[in-house]
A and B are shown apart, each in its own frame.
Chain A
Amino acid sequence: MGERRTGLHALVGAYVLDAVEDGDRAQFERHLLSCDQCRDDVRGLREATARLAAAAAIAPRPELRQSTMQAAAVTRQLPPVVIGERTAATSRRVRWPVGRGIARTWLAGVAAGLAIVLAVAAVLLGVHAGAMQQRLAATQRRDSAMTAVLGAHDAVILTAAVRTGGTATVVMSHRARALVFTANGLATLPGVRAYELWLAGPAGVTPAGMLPPGHRGMSGPMVVGGLAKGEQLELTVEPATGSRQPTSAPIVRLVLDS
């Protein structure tokens, strides 16, 4: 017991530096809930890391300012946590979002996580705010599968660079056995070619849908359901009519069981 506690206490530095893996993080955060001193320590050490961050400051390109403002203007904010709702058991959890909880808080609003991804994609690509609004509205009208994924408590977000340019983003819920795929900055393909998604698993590779023709490199959102354990999501370039099996090497691969 004593041994175990010291082990956990030693983790405070690695925890504050985000140098822990998920298992350690979860264990340390459980420990934090019952250790006032540790929370004080975490707070003090975090202020020290904030100074490390300040020392690394660099000026962003001026044009990023306006595009970020525009993206904020079309992004709904989370309401505050109402004091009356705080119970002794949960108040510590909500006071200072620690660990993976942050990602979940971030994703908690239905469709809002995706809205941010789209908003960022849109500003980076210079999509007009009006078009953005329409796109967000369309997104929010999508079918219940998407709502189920984005609203799921176990939703996680994965991002990866696409080898031929651009970024792929997946919001996934293991419980809903589904994911929502978006991409931005994809290279424009000639009309006879298109991007196709695949699920690759122990049982082989199955088609998961063609990406609709993108608007200025932005594509999706697409819902992919029926996920099985051990599968990966892959994106390839195929003839515009689609293929039964991939005919080229994946340009991005996302491992889904995290």
Chain B
Amino acid sequence: MRGQAGLRSGDEYGNVDVVAGSPAGGARRPGRASPAGPDALQAALSAVARGDEAAFAVVYDRAAPVVLGTVRRIVRNPAQSEEVMQEVLLEVWRTAARFDPTAGSATAWITMLAHRRAVDRVRSEQRAAQREARSAAAEVGYDEVTEAVEASLDRERVRRCLDGLTELQRESVTLAYYGGYSYREVAQLLGVAVGTVKTRMRDGLIRLRDCLGVE
């Protein structure tokens, strides 16, 4: 548990105690994104860096559902989401040699690429005043995201940890992460000051990190 000394959720806001550590039955295993664990993904990724196409299939199988789910939350349009998912996976293929395991897990790296690209996609559309086209397209064939993969354990755990946040923390974090909104937009949506949103995002993520037991 190194590196956590610097950041603690803010007592100065009078928050209730953080529900840290292991909720009932939860193993403190970091980055449990797939059944075989994060190491398999990382091993596959280093083989991908050497041009191993079979290893890329392994990376795809482990990462694609997470990438698609993240992108779809933000982009909404199913066809566009699939397109972004493929772009992200190709970016993983292309830049695998630049991945540095000492700087974070493979899952974190890939989800960062996915989230960032999804956000870039919706923001560039916004800039180009294409928002109405997106929502119009989204009405066609958008089905509620229900197809579950093996993520149900993760989902349950995350839900529980999100429940441990204050309402403002939770809304700030989820509007940003699942909604793709900037902190200024979140402030506007929630009708609170920009500075408040910034600290709630930080404190909310710290609580989440501690509750999930990731390092």
Contacts and interface: CB of A to CB of B under 8 A. Distances in A.
A41 B7 contact: yes
B158 A58 contact: no
B6 interface: yes
A52 B211 CA distance: 12
Interface size class for chain B? 35 or more
Contacts of B157: 51, 55
A75 B116 CA distance: 21
A185 to B, nearest CB: 8
A39 to B, nearest CB: 8
A16 B100 CA distance: 18
Interface in A53-89: 53-61, 64-65, 67-69, 71-73, 75-81
Interface residues of A, number: 75
B176 A64 contact: no
Given A51-B154, A161-B130, A167-B80, A57 B65 contact: yes
A30 interface: no
B66 interface: yes
A51 B214 contact: yes
Nearest to A35: B6
A65 B209 contact: no
A45 B93 contact: no
A235 to B, nearest CB: 11
B155 A55 contact: yes
A64 to B, nearest CB: 6
A116 B116 contact: no
Nearest to A53: B111
A176 interface: no
Contacts of A16: 205
* B interface: dominant SS: helix
Nearest to A162: B133
Given A77-B97, A81-B98, A158-B128, A59 B4 contact: no
B199 interface: yes
Interface string B71-113: 0110001001011011101110111111010111101110111
B182 interface: yes
A258 interface: yes
B129 to A, nearest CB: 7
A67 B86 contact: yes
Interface stretch (A95-103, A146-154, A223-231): A95-103
Contact of B205 (A45, A120, A160): A45
Contact of B98 (A38, A47, A49, A78): A78
B95 A78 contact: yes
A203 to B, nearest CB: 20
Nearest to B119: A18
Contacts of A18: 115-116, 119, 176-177, 180
A17 B173 CA distance: 7
A159 B201 CA distance: 28
7 closest A-B pairs (Cβ-Cβ)? A13-B202, A13-B201, A40-B3, A96-B103, A56-B69, A80-B97, A19-B176
14 contacts: A14-B183, A17-B177, A19-B181, A40-B6, A43-B108, A48-B208, A49-B115, A49-B177, A54-B66, A57-B154, A112-B94, A159-B120, A159-B121, A161-B125
Interface of B: 2-4, 6-7, 30-33, 49, 51, 53, 56-57, 60-61, 64-70, 72-73, 77, 80, 82-83, 85-87, 89-91, 93-98, 100, 102-105, 107-109, 111-116, 119-121, 124-125, 127-130, 133-134, 137, 145, 147-149, 151, 154-155, 157-159, 173, 176-178, 180-184, 186, 195, 197-206, 208-209, 212, 214-215
Given A44-B209, A58-B69, 13 more contacts: A17-B183, A17-B205, A46-B108, A50-B33, A50-B107, A53-B115, A54-B66, A58-B147, A65-B60, A65-B61, A78-B98, A97-B95, A159-B121
